[in-house]
Structure 1
Amino acid sequence: MGRFSDFFSKELGRRQVWLFFLLATFVYVVPLILADYPYIDDNWRSLSAAAGSAWAEQGRLFTELFYNLLTFSNAAPNIFPLPLLIATLAMAAALTSLTFHYYPQPTIACCLVMLPLWYNPFFLQNLSYQYDGPTMALSVVAVIYAITFRSPSRIQQWLVPSFLVALAIGLYQVSFNVFLGLCCLEVLRGANDKLAWPKWCELIGWKIAQAFLGCLIYAVSAYPFTQHNRTLLLNWTAEPLLQLHVNIARVLEKVVLLFHGGFAWLFAGLLLCAVAGAVRLGLNVVARQDSTANKMLIGLICVLALPVVTLLVSGMALFFRDFNEGARTLMGFAVLLVLLFYLSHLALARIHERLPLLLMVPLLAMLSLSYAYGRVLTVQKAFAASALLSLEQDIASNRQLLEAKRIYMSVTYSDHWLRGAAGSFKQMPVLHYLLNIDFYMLAENLPKVGITNVVAEKERRNATRVGYQGYPPVLESQYYRIYLLGDYGFIVMKEPAPIKTLHW
């Protein structure tokens, strides 16, 4: 028993830390691998002629190159879960590097501080994409190595992290929020470790220079391939502050979904520990052997770093005209969690060396959320297969529909399609936000079963007009009606009724 307890407090070697992270990161993605569900964009990417192309025009040139290299082709046939396994291995190595960067003599508790970079609940949506998920993870890996890279050569110290930042942005632009957030943590860590004033200022200067040069390298490499409608910023002539306020409110509304039931109490406790850690950090700043002016400036920058990390939960996405509030854009939430864990570790380690092991509790909660989400994906996969089979049989059994020039599928959004996961959605509201599937069926799925004349309707008014003008449907099922006018068909979804809670 004594040897077992010593394991949690003894210093770990690099190999032991890597094995810990390898196990922890793999366990987190097991539910996604078992579900094996092609998530939204995966459908059209796997069926397109170029198989998974169009990343370059989204500003993610390096994602396209990654799949070209990995598949030894000019396209990207679906080879899931190999890319995710590669990304998991890379993340384990990156987290090992970051742990030794923060703690030269790490224990298991020190490793727990870094784990939220992977155990970010909102990152589950990123990892749901069989194509995009692994490269989004690799963009975080590049960011971590940009932080931990050290070289006696000043030129290398400037250039290598900058190229890594450019690589990260070229894999997924939102990862730049993670880099900026980790830079803020570097500033706080330097202040807590009583880094000499010139060194501390130099650290800030290096990070600013690396971020600027990284963006510059990205601008001349991957950005020229980007479609310009994806880069439009807020309209600065139409109350930009109000637009920012609305965007922040929308993000906050989504983040709050996580704090439900036991999660609210867990994070309240974590926040209290982090506040205690922030006080300790402040006392360390006061105890520095520096001038009062220097200490006040360090304290002010440390205080400002906290709201900056919070804003970086969504970060740069807030400033785009086409604002995306999806969970996959909230990669900065991982850095906010690491900040809370880091400050909590400061407070708990001060009391007892084993108390920081309490950080396992919120991590276990996030792990359980991953497995709950995996079950929801499995239910969604079964529902999608049933929907696809139903549509295929209805169209294939009617010769007129099968030979129609085109069948337009209306897109009806609802929160009530997936009845099989209603209980999970009620207990964990964040699961519905993570799933982000509020449609019955994507037209891109039908070619999988040989139906190639169905396309998504850009606007619903044509199908709606057919539905309400009294034309008799050719076919009708529980979820949709199919109409036929001449050589053109229309699939009109029925509005699903709200799911009623069953009482036994």
Structure 2
Amino acid sequence: MLPLILANFSYLDDAARINHPFGWRWEGRPFADAFYYIITGGTFIDIFPLTLIMTCILISVSSLFFIKRLSLDYNLFSYLVVLPILCSPLFLENLSFRNDNATMSLALGLTIISTTIVCKKKHLFLIKLFLFFIALGIYQTALNIFISLSFLFFIHDYKNNRIQALKILLQSFLIMILGYILYYIIIIKIYLVYIETPSPYMKLMSQTVSLDKEGMKKVWNIFLIS
């Protein structure tokens, strides 16, 4: 983290946040706006490197849940297990942003915690669903992370109890479907229609891609501008 703090560099996205403060809501991320509104006291200011320090705390806390879910002891080996999360080139790029790093890390942390919850009781099911829904409203990539971690925990559980592992995986898929339906109805169909106007980028990313040459061309264009 120290090299990122010392670099003290602003990217185009950071400049856009300053020019259009609290603009995450136009991208279908209203909870990111709410989070930043709380930590800045309602006035959008550049609080870097505090955002990066908060990121360290968020990832550290969620990593503890991750380690416990894998039934590992809290030692150097278990910390190395979760190290790939921080060492991922894609995540390191996210950490380079001055403002988005905290919101993206919060979404990642909530998703990790959500996937570590085993729904043995009804209230745990609701908590897991709530955390996943909030994570989606912070950063939509939480969906991909949720799917990946669900399969990871399934592989871990399978060697101990195949039936239980399958049951937990199906519960996670149910959470994923319900969470996305809630996000689609509340955020996409209600919030971005009757309360806020989605940004052109959000409109582009929300389009259904057809499985033909034109669809593949759209995917490539989105990749180029991302």
1:207 paired residue number: 172
Per the alignment, do residues 149 and 102 of structure 1 end up closer, same or farther by CA in structure 2, a change over 3 Å counting? same
1:43 aligns to what? 15
Match of 2:89 among 106, 111, 121: 121
Q: Are 1:62 and 2:34 an aligned pair?
A: no
Q: Secondary structure at the match of 1:323?
A: helix
- Report how far residue 200 of structure 1 moved: 2.3
Cα deviation, residue 175, structure 1 = 2.3
| 2:71 aligned residue | 103
Distance across 1 between alignment mates of 2:97 and 2:174: 33
Q: Give the greater-gyration-radius structure (CA).
A: 1
Give 1:151 shift.
Answer: 5.7
2:145 aligns to what?
Answer: 178
Q: What is the one-letter code of the residue matched to 2:30?
A: L
Aligned to 1:323: 222
- Deviation of 1:206 after TM superposition, in Å, equals 0.5
| C-alpha deviation, 1:196, in angstroms | 4.2
Instruction: Tell me how far apart the structure 1 counterparts of residues 3 and 66 of structure 2 sit (CA, whole Å).
Output: 26
User: Which runs of 4 or more aligned residues in structure 1 lie more than 6 Å from their structure 2 counterparts after TM superposition?
Assistant: none
Distance 2:29 2:15 in 1: 19
Give the superposition deviation at 1:76. 1.7
> Which residue pairs with 1:168 in the alignment?
135
1:322 and 1:178 map into 2 onto residues whose CA distance is: 23
Q: CA deviation at 1:150?
A: 4.1
Whether the 8 Å CA contact 1:140–1:178 is kept in 2: the answer is: yes
- Would you tell me which structure has more strand in proportion to its own residues? 1
Letter in 1 for 2:66: L
For residue 184 of structure 1, report the CA deviation from its aligned partner: 0.9
Q: CA deviation at 1:325?
A: 5.3
CA distance in 2, matches of 1:321, 1:54: 25
Instruction: Work out whether residues 166 and 218 of structure 1, in 8 Å CA contact, stay in contact via their aligned partners in 2.
Output: yes
SS in 1 for 2:44: coil
CA distance in 2 between partners of 1:54 and 1:106 (Å): 39
Cα deviations by residue, 1:374-413 (Å, 9 ceiling, x for unpaired): xxxxxxxxxxxxxxxxxxxxxxxxxxxxxxxxxxxxxxxx
Query: Structure 1 pair 151/210, CA: closer, same or farther in 2 (3 Å)?
Result: closer
8 A contact 1:56–1:222 mirrored in 2: no
The CA deviation at 1:148 is 1.5
The answer to whether the Cα contact below 8 Å between 2:22 and 2:36 also exists between their aligned partners in 1 is no
- Cα distance in 2 for residues equivalent to 1:30 and 1:159: 38
TM-score by length of 1: 0.40
Amino acid at match of 2:13: D
The answer to whether residue 221 in structure 2 is matched with residue 231 in structure 1 is no
- Give, in whole Å, the separation in 2 of the partners of 1:218 and 1:135: 17
Displacement of 1:324? 2.6
Letter in 1 for 2:116: T
The residue number in structure 2 matching 1:217 is 182
Structure 2 residue aligned with 1:77: 45
1:322 CA displacement: 5.3
Amino acid at match of 1:209: L
- The TM-score with structure 2 as length reference comes to 0.85
More helix, by proportion:
2
SS of 2:89's equivalent in the other structure is coil
Paired residues of 2:110 and 2:132 also in contact (CA < 8 A): yes
Alignment partners' CA distance in 1, 2:21 and 2:99: 8
Q: Secondary structure at the match of 2:125?
A: helix
Q: Which has the higher contact order (CA 8 A, sep 6+)?
A: 2
- Aligned counterpart for 1:86 among listed residues 20, 43, 54: 54
Q: Following TM superposition, by how much is the alpha carbon of 1:69 offset from its aligned partner in structure 2, in angstroms?
A: 0.9
Q: In structure 2, how many angstroms separate the alpha carbons of the residues matched to 1:100 and 1:60?
A: 29
Measured in 2, the distance between the counterparts of 1:212 and 1:325 equals 29
Structure 1 position 78, deviation (Å): 1.2
Q: Contact 2:154–2:166 at 8 Å: present in 1 too?
A: no
> How many percent identity over aligned positions?
24
Asked if the contact 1:163–1:217 (Cα under 8 Å) also holds between the matched residues in 2, the reply is no
1:55 deviates by 1.0
Q: Following TM superposition, by how much is the alpha carbon of 1:61 offset from its aligned partner in structure 2, in angstroms?
A: 0.8
Measured after TM superposition, the shift of residue 107 of structure 1 is 3.5
Q: CA deviation at 1:207?
A: 0.8
C-alpha spacing 1:169/1:141, structure 2 compared with 1 (3 Å): same
Q: Offset at 1:201?
A: 2.5
Deviations 1:413-455 (A, max 9, x none): xxxxxxxxxxxxxxxxxxxxxxxxxxxxxxxxxxxxxxxxxxx
2:210 maps to a residue whose letter is N
Measured in 1, the distance between the counterparts of 2:116 and 2:144 equals 17
Structure 2 portions without partners, runs of 5+: none
Give the match's secondary structure for 1:324: helix
Cα distance in 2 for partners of 1:121, 1:321 equals: 20
What corresponds to 1:188 in structure 2? 155
| Cα distance, 1:86 vs structure 2 | 1.4
- Indicate if the aligned counterparts of 1:127 and 1:133 stay in contact, CA closer than 8 A: yes
Q: Is the Cα contact below 8 Å between 2:32 and 2:103 reproduced in 1?
A: yes
> Does the aligned pair in 2 maintain the 1:60–1:172 contact within 8 Å?
yes
